[in-house]
Chains A and B, each alone.
Chain A
């Protein structure tokens, strides 16, 4: 295999933009119409994912060993979509047809062989990871909604009971699919540490026009069925550090941090934990009663609510980073941040300025900003 030749060929093909992935999926569905139902109606996001994944793989094509963790994760993760080893062959055929089509005159038997070899290696790693995971986990966890509360106009707190226990660490997330929106998966953090009865809480904020969040907030009812993907995410408590903990949660970024706060309360040698929870207005503090109860039960947990956009609020006012920064010095603590992108970025910058070392700042970026 000639990695340089392959990269050059991909760069050339990729210049055709969205047309490449469009051709790929159309070719695939024409040859194998039965595969169409594995994908959502709108394929725009899907095409984006495909091209980005291929670009990532191609960039490391000479050293696929560097990508092994990523590819194994990809292989495991695709189980929830119903991907089987038999699907890799049609994908290979359509990928080669697509590359040949867009390469035009430049398509040679050598290039075809390069791509065949690279695809073979990648699919091998993915299939092996999926097969190994199959021995341990179901492809997804079926769950039933057992309670659904609208806490504000656009925030719901949902409790679900999975049919099989889902093992995870507090702070991790799972992808959720609803029968209301088949084939659309979105990640949500679990808002509680593992419970005896295996139930899971999710905090869902309705994103305007959000394909899944609108269904989960406004249409989901008790008894509805959800599918949960395997737990992912690295925003988990460093129990070995021995340091006290700072938790900063914007909006539904509270979910993973509440799980971590509850986890610390159960530790034998509980650290001091200060949880800041922010919203634009007082009514956005959708979980305050529960947090107050939690604070009362956990003597070493302090909860400070704050509001950024409500001059009449009785408590702490201002942006979360400002409120946290003026409330003390956090240099000696492990910080965990979750919420809208600007808040997380701003907070991380201010903590760094306060002298909190980067390895003590743990971040979960929710990827949106508050309207």
Chain B
């Protein structure tokens, strides 16, 4: 079905949550100094997105309109806490590095945004695929940014030395402003390719 394709593939590039919709920038800056944290964060956000989209979509016909957003928040918050608890139990080292940012998935605009914009008005299967697509779109950007920052910042990729020992490392890439620069360049690249511009 072409529609399914579109739901999953669109957010990867043409409608990417970070570089096109400009959502979820905060965590993209915070956890991308090194690849492993970026990768775990990607999995966590994708899992939460799929689960929250599916749950909200299943409930979409019974959620009272007045408390719609509060209900979405409760569902998302519960899912995030579950993910956080699972990481603490089974991936303790990484969960220590991600520290507060797993909890902050609750405030990640992508999750809330997709619940509002898609899951509330579409059946569960489509909502799940939309969550998956957006999760992967977010992941793609995080992994690209994480790779670039780790490579230029430390000369390593996922902890393995890639650049020669004499490479001094670039301190700017290690701190958040470096992520701003990299994400800015990515957005530029994305929009040059997709020809999608903000109306002035």
Q: Do A and B share a complex?
A: no
